[in-house]
Structure 1
């Protein structure tokens, strides 16, 4: 089977001649630059602008419940640790014997 090689469109191009033309006249290969102006006033909307907002009492109740739950969980954990320490005879580390 014969495999065809892809055709190279730039095969045989004299790159030195093209580079020489650009060095002589730098504007030969460029288009005129058109600067775009920004509008005078751009309104910047923060990311959280479109999020739903809850009334203040609801927010205070929600976060208050979260804090109270965390404190309560900490107290239960402390009570469980104290119970385990008492069961072991008050020795926490092996080095205390």
Structure 2
């Protein structure tokens, strides 16, 4: 298990593409020397993208996903957006940041 990063509140809506095409989640890239982040437009919180991707990657692998084909992982995340929201809810709960 890895250590979760505490989400933080952002006072403005950032620009960027959708995180795996999921409405309400904006992917924030800060360059190769910093972890990418995901902005949740509903709560205004910013999450470390790896905190969302690692558990999804584990699920993908455990369900027989092809670890050599990242495009199928992208499709998996898009098709299982409910799991992304479950991760967000878990992290908010872990840090006592409920809405």
Task: Name the TM-score class by shorter chain.
Answer: under 0.3
TM-score, scaled to structure 1: 0.21
More strand by share: 2
User: Which is higher, the Rg of structure 1 or of structure 2?
Assistant: 1
More helix by share: 1
Higher relative contact order, structure no. (Cα contacts within 8 Å, ≥ 6 residues apart): 2
